[in-house]
Amino acid sequence: MSKNKYKVLDPIDPLDAKSIGDHEKTNLLLNGYRPYQTEDGTIKWLTVEQRSYKLMQSSKQSLFSGLSFRLPKKKKHRRRRGSPVKKFIRSYVVFALLMTLVATAIILTLKYFYLIF
């Protein structure tokens, strides 16, 4: 199919098409082509399928336009960006508590070594 955009208006009588010769007219008619007049007055030879495709292509409104509906737009969630210190503390709280517990145990063991042994 051609990429040229044109609007097919109505079929015309094959005998009225004077743009091509008689031999070519009969050949096109035998192959299933019919002459149709376009919006700008030229004659296009199309099959029934090509004509229905062009009519569908040139229609401005789709078949399902009345049935469609728009979903409400969802609000975009803003990403909360805290300070880098707070992010670090939140992600390493467990590790920091474990390290302070180990450091406290080591300090108490060294300070009160005589009580343990």
Tens-place pLDDT, residues 66-109: 555 666 777 777 777 788 888 888 889 999 899 999 999 999 99
pTM surpassing 0.85? no
Burial label for 14, CB within 10 Å (0-12, 13-18, 19+), is middle
CB atoms within 10 A of CB 102: 10
User: For residues 60 and 36, is the Cβ–Cβ distance under 8 A?
Assistant: no
Tokens matching residue 60: 């401005």
Q: Which of residues 41 and 8 earns the better pLDDT score?
A: 41
CA distances from residue 99 to 3, 19, 88, 91 in whole angstroms, order as listed: 72, 94, 15, 14
Kindly report, residue by residue over 32-74, the tens digit of the pLDDT. Answer: 888 888 888 888 888 888 877 777 776 655 555 555 566 677 7
